[in-house]
Structure 1
Amino acid sequence: MRASPIRIPTVSNDTEWDFCFHLSQQTKIPTYQQTEELYPTGGSEESEEDTKAKEKTIDCMSLPREKLVQSQKKTAQLIKEKMNTQANQELIRCVILSRITFGEEHWKCAQALASLAYGYLTLRGLPAQAKKHAESAKNTLLTWKGKTTSDKEKKEILDALVMLYYTLGVAWLLQNHGREAYFNLQKAERNMKELKELCKGGICPHGLQVSEKDLTVALGRASLAIHRLNLALAYFEKAVGNVIATKGDRTSDLVTLYEEMAQIEQLRRNHDQAIQYLQQAHSICISLFTEVSPQTAEASVLLAKAYTMSGEARHMDVAEIYFIKSISAYQTALGPEDCQTLMAIEDFYKWLIHNGKKECLMIQVLLYGSEHSKSRGTKNVLTLLQRVSNSSSRWRRKATPGRWDSVCKVIEA
């Protein structure tokens, strides 16, 4: 989290938004009520002037409605093009136009606020703003949900509530409040279940943005945050099942899930199962990204650490192999002076020291003498790795030219 104060973006320099704000101040009565209240249909016949005035008002108010539809389409396109900041600005415009068109107490305005909150979370990564707008929308949506008569309207409101509670849950999770996160995500799960029941045999709203997989993963992470390990694992297993059913068993979506499941199994001290999950993640990375990609390098580091955590002597040689593979892959993919390369080398150095490789040096000196190539090679590796460790503690990205090439050459030898 950044230390600077949170700032809600303003739109004071946008003439179109200025127009929307100006019009919203004039439109105190929601559009769907305004025409009838200004021009009552009962009692007496309308004059020609009254009819023309009524038509003029309707034409005037059709502009924000048309702009709202255009803005919603533009938002979808911007998200597709990964123009996140512009998409978030367009979501703000949707809220303004919804307020003008329907009135700020209407559920459609609250729906637009829920979408804006979700946008702040997923497009901008700003949980504080996301929570603010989600809370603003909550009471209105809950009130309308209780008195809806149309199934179509109820589906849209349930869809918005899923998005709202998911946003609140993940926002709390990002701020390290596990209990609040789990509480809100449970509400999202209940509303999604109700929505699926209502949609059975029918069509769900096209605006549904929170997938069952996203919600399941979030519930797994929230369960882990409150140390309910068995529940967390059950949610992740369900998420894996959803992904395999929709995308197959060789998709990159599974890599993160397997890595998080391995973390849970390590906490449960099931090290063999953790290694198995990480082997699956590593295998997918190789098939999708090749052996010398950053993704495969990261998977190799995690595998090396998993083997060391088992504490079994039979795993030590395998751990060393994966440490070296990770360093080699990082160096090829990112360069010898990249931060991730240096961190992998530092992890390897710490592992060498922890596992008595420096004792190893003394034995080689006794057996072969201090000038033997094996003794000198081991000593050079330890010296260089120690320098890397000391340097990366002070600065991660600076390095002496040529140093890392020599480290990797010694390791390969």
Structure 2
Amino acid sequence: MDGHQTATKTRPTSSDSTDSSAESLLRSAGTVAPPPPASHLDEKNPSLEIYNKKELIMMPPEEKLKHFESRAKALEDNQEFDACIRELVRCVALTRLVHGDGHVKLAHAHARLAKAYFLFKGLALQAQKHSSKARELLSLTASTSTCREETLQVLTCLLSINLTQGGATLLTANLEEAESAFMKGQLIVEELHQMDGINAVEKMQTELEISIGLSRVYQKQRRLEKALGQCAKSLQLLDDSGKPEATCSVYRDMAAIERDRDHLEKAAEYLSKCHEIQTSLYGPQHKETRATQKAVEALTRAPAATDKRRRKGREEMRSHVSSTASGGKDGDRFK
């Protein structure tokens, strides 16, 4: 089963991830909190109550499903990601048993598992597999949804599917599909907001996740103006949000884009803003603050070095033109 593919309770290490990693994308949007200090599961927490095998066998499927859903949520809260995914795998099987193949709740169960694979482990292929299954199931139920509540359930599930597929296909460099998924997600956000299916804070957080995802898609596609436009939208969404870490991440993205455009002074300007935030949050001696300061210094030196190389190149060209001009025919080309 899919749950057996996870062997540790840690997220991917930083050496295994990139700026477009699942954790980076979600953390940039402010939807993932930094991992707390290591802790053990609270044995007094009813949702983490341990049942013996006999008790679980005797438990009705509906009650068993509620039990594993509660455990999955509690394990997620305690940063026990592999255990959380194992419980979500069980939830998929139990949801099928309780509600059947054609129920929207089974689509939700697959969507939750897909999101967990993407967010907690960065496993893009597993995330795509289960999000695709969720979309397939929704196609069977969406046409029969008549009441407002059912429509909201379908739209909420579709939003989760598109956000997961957008992030997962960004990880696998399927950029056209990633852009399409994020754009579909944006349309669903608007529809949900009009139906009062999400509040203003949820709308802002989701739009932020989408704008950050799109900026990274466009950066990889070398559509740098559009990438900067999405970053500007992210900063607007973050205005007065109280999420300095997310703001810092956006400035870092903007610096990378400007560097790619060979606008080194502008890149240094954005990194300096990031450095100011880090200094306020972590102090000047923190390793992230110091690393950013070194990057700012390197970018600040780079334009001077570039200008020096350009001056040297122009002098060499003038010397070359002068020498060839005195040689006759070859020199005629530069006249």
Question: Do they fold alike, i.e. is TM over 0.5?
Answer: yes
1:8 maps to amino acid: D
2:267 pairs with 1:274: yes
Post-superposition offset of 1:19: 11
| 1:296 paired residue among 282, 286, 289 | 289
C-alpha change, 1:137 and 1:68, in structure 2 (3 Å) is same
Secondary structure (helix, strand or coil) at the match of 2:146 reads coil
Residues of 1 paired with 2:178 and 2:55: CA distance?
38
| 2:228 paired residue among 233, 256, 264 | 233
1:306 maps to amino acid: L
Structure 1 runs not aligned, ≥5 long: 1-6, 24-59, 317-413
| 1:8 paired residue among 2, 11, 20 | 2
Q: Which residue of structure 2 aligns with residue 193 of structure 1?
A: 190
Q: Which residue of structure 2 aligns with residue 137 of structure 1?
A: 134
Secondary structure (helix, strand or coil) at the match of 1:176 reads coil
Post-superposition offset of 1:18: 12
C-alpha change, 1:244 and 1:311, in structure 2 (3 Å) is same
**CA deviation digits over 1:337-385, x for unaligned, max 9?**
xxxxxxxxxxxxxxxxxxxxxxxxxxxxxxxxxxxxxxxxxxxxxxxxx
2:86 pairs with 1:89: yes
C-alpha change, 1:175 and 1:313, in structure 2 (3 Å) is closer
2:237 pairs with 1:242: yes
Q: Which residue of structure 1 aligns with residue 212 of structure 2?
A: 217
Residues of 1 paired with 2:185 and 2:231: CA distance?
17
TM-score after normalising by structure 1? 0.57
> Are 1:105 and 1:140, in contact at CA under 8 Å, matched by a contact in 2?
yes
Secondary structure (helix, strand or coil) at the match of 1:292 reads coil
Secondary structure (helix, strand or coil) at the match of 1:113 reads helix
2:303 pairs with 1:310: yes
- Could you tell me the percent identity over the aligned residues? 26
Q: Which residue of structure 1 aligns with residue 8 of structure 2?
A: none
C-alpha change, 1:151 and 1:309, in structure 2 (3 Å) is farther
Secondary structure (helix, strand or coil) at the match of 2:2 reads coil
Secondary structure (helix, strand or coil) at the match of 2:241 reads helix
TM-score after normalising by structure 2? 0.70
Give the count of matched residue pairs. 263
Post-superposition offset of 1:16: 8.5
Q: Which residue of structure 2 aligns with residue 169 of structure 1?
A: 166
> Are 2:228 and 2:254, in contact at CA under 8 Å, matched by a contact in 1?
yes
Post-superposition offset of 1:273: 2.4
Residues of 2 paired with 1:180 and 1:130: CA distance?
14
Residues of 1 paired with 2:194 and 2:64: CA distance?
34
Structure 2 runs not aligned, ≥5 long: 6-50, 309-335
C-alpha change, 1:268 and 1:203, in structure 2 (3 Å) is closer
**CA deviation digits over 1:198-224, x for unaligned, max 9?**
21xx666x9999732222211111121
Post-superposition offset of 1:268: 2.8
Residues of 2 paired with 1:96 and 1:18: CA distance?
19
Residues of 2 paired with 1:96 and 1:301: CA distance?
51
**CA deviation digits over 1:294-320, x for unaligned, max 9?**
111221232123223434689x9xxxx
> Are 1:145 and 1:158, in contact at CA under 8 Å, matched by a contact in 2?
no
Q: Which residue of structure 1 aligns with residue 149 of structure 2?
A: 152
Matches within 5 A, 1:87-126: 87-126=84-123
Greater relative contact order (Cα < 8 A, sep 6+): 2
Residues of 1 paired with 2:206 and 2:94: CA distance?
27
Residues of 1 paired with 2:175 and 2:302: CA distance?
26
Q: Which residue of structure 1 aligns with residue 124 of structure 2?
A: 127
**CA deviation digits over 1:380-413, x for unaligned, max 9?**
xxxxxxxxxxxxxxxxxxxxxxxxxxxxxxxxxx
Post-superposition offset of 1:245: 3.0
Q: Which residue of structure 2 aligns with residue 338 of structure 1?
A: none
> Are 1:170 and 1:181, in contact at CA under 8 Å, matched by a contact in 2?
yes
